[in-house]
Amino acid sequence: MTRSTLVAAAASLSIVTLAGSASAQALAGHNRSLWFAASVGPTINVANDVGVETGFAALSLQQQVGVRLSNGAVGASIALDFRESFASGRVLGGLVSWSGFQFEVGPRTWFDLPFGPSRSFSIRPNLGMHFLLLQRNAAALGFAGGRTDYGFAPQVALDLQVVLFDRLTVFVRPFGLDIAVIFERGGSSLGSSAVRHQVGYDLQLGAGVTF
């Protein structure tokens, strides 16, 4: 056996060893049962009947505490979601300024579909259902007022995740649809409650750690 053949064999063995190590780390990351994650990104207002202009982006912060329901890279997970959204703007030609804060909490479920040579990457379709509280304030011509309403928000999203260094995960959410149903107290012209709707396109970038 020539020296060049030995070098090539050693290089091949090193590549196989590194790939095996990466695969083992990814599998270990997938197998850990608990995780905590946090993310940030814009939520773009697609449609609404609450009197806010479409196209504005709210800043959304999200936190998740979750658990895997099965061992292995493929499987389902459930989590408790927390979300805080902040937005502000002007309407009526700039005469009225407004600001809003929305807090959401509720369950979310994922299904991991790993891919790639080391199975470090995974596609994660997921569904969520949040209870929400919405605080809105408005000011015009020296007058100011505010209101707090409640509702719920079903969500559908798709995450792309990668496992790094055994415990660390990084993910991006290129698609997320948030459909809020808001119950306004005294929201109609007759003083009775009104039901409003708001659809948001949710983009997120985040990281997490598994235990």
pLDDT tens digits along 147-156: 888 999 999 9
Question: What does the pLDDT look like over 24-50, one tens digit per residue?
Answer: 444 444 556 888 999 999 998 887 766
Q: CA 96 to CA 3: how far, in whole Å?
A: 79
Q: Which of 22-26, 89-93, 169-173, 185-189 has the highest mean pLDDT?
A: 169-173
Which pLDDT value is given to residue 94? 64
pTM greater than 0.85 (yes/no): no
Q: Are 70 and 44 in contact (CB under 8 A)?
A: no
85 pLDDT higher than 60? yes
Residues pairing with 149 in the sheet: 134
30/83: higher pLDDT: 83
Residue from 110, 88, 92 nearest 101 by CA: 88
* Amino acid in position 181: V
Q: What is the mean pLDDT of residues 108-124?
A: 85
Q: CA 44 to CA 177: how far, in whole Å?
A: 10
Domain that holds residue 24: 3-210
Which pLDDT value is given to residue 20? 43
Residue 167 DSSP one-character state: T
Distances (CA, A) of 43 to 102, 107, 177, 199: 12, 19, 9, 9
Residue 15 DSSP one-character state: H
Map residue 147 onto helix, strand or coil. strand
Number of domains the chain is built from: 1
Residue from 155, 133, 127 nearest 43 by CA: 155
CATH number at residue 55: 2.40.160.20
- Lowest-pLDDT choice from 71-75, 129-133, 136-140, 175-179: 71-75
* Amino acid in position 88: S
